[in-house]
Amino acid sequence: MIKIFKLKNIISIKDFEREDIEYILDEASKLEDIAKSRDISEELKGKILGLMFFEPSTRTRISFETAMKRLHGQCIGFTSSGSSSVSKGESIADTAKMFEGYSDALVIRHELEGVSKFISDIVDVPVINAGDGAGQHPTQTLLDLYTIRNEIGSIDNLKIALIGDLKFGRTVHSLSNALCLFDNVKIYLVSPPELRMPQEVLIDLDKTNVEYEEVSNIEDIIDDVNVLYVTRIQKERFGDIDEYEKIKGAYIVNKKMLEGKDLIVMHPLPRIDEIAGDVDDTKYNKYFTQAANAVPVRMAILKTLIKNNPK
């Protein structure tokens, strides 16, 4: 049976079914050799990707660019609101309409939830949400799942601890939603009380078979998980900076805690201090592999959306 990918836009992981996720992960596996430059592809030759990054980014933007270039496509765009005409007062809608004229697909990052969805409603080219405020980050989730599948062998039966800023961290929101599509998953939610997982995500988890438990200490769960998924405290999303100062440094994963454990450590990065440097040279470190996996996964996304939706 020929599998097809039905989505035109990637806005929220909640729009995905399990088979959509598996389609992208399988495509990404096939593109590994090209991602690592052991092979070449001209799949997206002559195509242009528009990168509209209103909010800072390193990995997401650079890996989208790398993915597009590995497929012989090209990129245009801006890296902050300040370097676009939005700073002169142009509306996001007008900016997006311009980009639609120039590109075959758009990648959007913005500090406000819902901006990618808004843009997808007014343009005809595929739109990819590369992070909207504290909302969703669906392509990060796809590369997280790809990493879990490669490293652990399966996403079903996973026991994962999501650690840190579960309130503002969009990566953990998307990842929790995605895990609802898999079997026999247990999620430990490890955060300070002020940064607990939002109620709306817990309600989504309640509707599925995913088992979850809110805990406050890493030590309580470390013997029971395959994955520690660590996140930074999202300083820029705090209304009151004193609140951030009180909470920062609340969780730190170090080499000593991990010794003898059968697990991997993941992190969407950037890391501040929540994973000690002494973990970097251990077998537990999968966060740099995870970052590298962004390329085959984003290649799979771009190839699929642009080829399925020619201009």
Rule CB under 6 A: which residues touch ligand NCD? 59-60, 131, 137, 140, 170-171, 231-232, 268-269
Per-residue burial over 173-190, b if 16 or more Cβ lie within 10 Å, else e, is: bbbbbbbbbbeebbbbbb
Least spacing, CB of residue 174 vs ligand NCD, in Å: 9
In Å, how far are 115, 164, 245, 290 from 249, measured between CA atoms? 31, 9, 9, 23
d(CA 49, CA 54): 16
The sign one gets for the Cα dihedral 28, 60, 218, 264 is: positive
Least spacing, CB of residue 150 vs ligand NCD, in Å: 18
What is the Cα 42 distance to its own chain's centre? Answer: 26
Least spacing, CB of residue 57 vs ligand NCD, in Å: 6
Smallest Cα–Cα separation from 189: which of 226, 149, 230? Answer: 230
Nearer to ligand NCD by C-beta: 59 or 117? Answer: 59
Nearer to ligand NCD by C-beta: 43 or 113? Answer: 113
Nearer to ligand NCD by C-beta: 196 or 261? Answer: 196
Least spacing, CB of residue 82 vs ligand NCD, in Å: 18
Nearer to ligand NCD by C-beta: 131 or 138? Answer: 131
Least spacing, CB of residue 20 vs ligand NCD, in Å: 21
Q: Would you give the DSSP letter of residue 167?
A: T
By beta carbon distance, the residue nearest ligand NCD is 268
In Å, how far are 20, 113, 116, 170, 308 from 134, measured between CA atoms? 24, 7, 13, 5, 29
Least spacing, CB of residue 234 vs ligand NCD, in Å: 6
Nearer to ligand NCD by C-beta: 75 or 100? Answer: 75
Q: Which two tokens stand for residue 166?
A: 């579960």
Nearer to ligand NCD by C-beta: 56 or 153? Answer: 56
